[in-house]
């Protein structure tokens, strides 16, 4: 039995004790993706690590996905819903829909 004050009881206050739970859409897009320009996207939870090679140099950044209205948003400018996730399972592609007329839709291909 656990006793108050023991390290076992105190351990439940640590972040590792309760795993984060994500929406079905966010859970479905976890992993490595690549776009047609060769940028690599590693999705871990709502965090996305991006690595791009341009002009012989490699650049990287971290960005975050957001969720609203049963959709996931990339940089607040492209959206992905349940239909996009269903497509990704069939085709190995994420088809992000542009939220603004001035932008084009974006496709990430499964990379693992």
Q: What CATH number does residue 57 fall under?
A: 2.40.128.50
Task: Classify residue 36: in a domain, yes or no.
Answer: yes
Classify residue 51: in a domain, yes or no.
yes
Alpha helices in 11-58 (DSSP H): 24-28
- Mean of pLDDT over the chain: 89
83 to 29, 67, 68, 103: CA distances (angstroms): 13, 15, 15, 20
**Predicted local confidence at residue 22, as pLDDT:** 94
Mean pLDDT of 21-44: 96
Residue 97's pLDDT is 97
Burial status of residue 88 (CB atoms within 10 A of its CB: 0-12, 13-18, 19 or more):
buried
Distance CA 60, CA 25 (A): 25
Question: Is there a domain that residue 92 lies in?
Answer: yes
Instruction: Please tell me the pTM assigned to this model.
Output: 0.80
pLDDT at 36 over 70: yes
């Amino acid at each position: 039995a656990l006793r108050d004050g023991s390290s076992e009881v105190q351990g439940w206050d640590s972040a590792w004790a309760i795993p984060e739970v994500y929406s079905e859409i966010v859970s479905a897009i976890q992993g490595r993706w690549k776009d047609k320009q060769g940028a690599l996207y590693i999705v871990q939870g709502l965090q996305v690590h991006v690595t791009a090679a341009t002009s012989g140099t490699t650049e990287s950044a971290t960005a975050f996905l957001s969720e609203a209205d049963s959709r996931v948003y990339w940089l607040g400018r492209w959206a992905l819903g349940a239909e996009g996730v269903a497509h990704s399972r069939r085709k190995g592609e994420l088809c992000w829909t542009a939220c603004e007329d001035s932008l084009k839709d974006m496709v990430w291909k499964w990379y693992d």
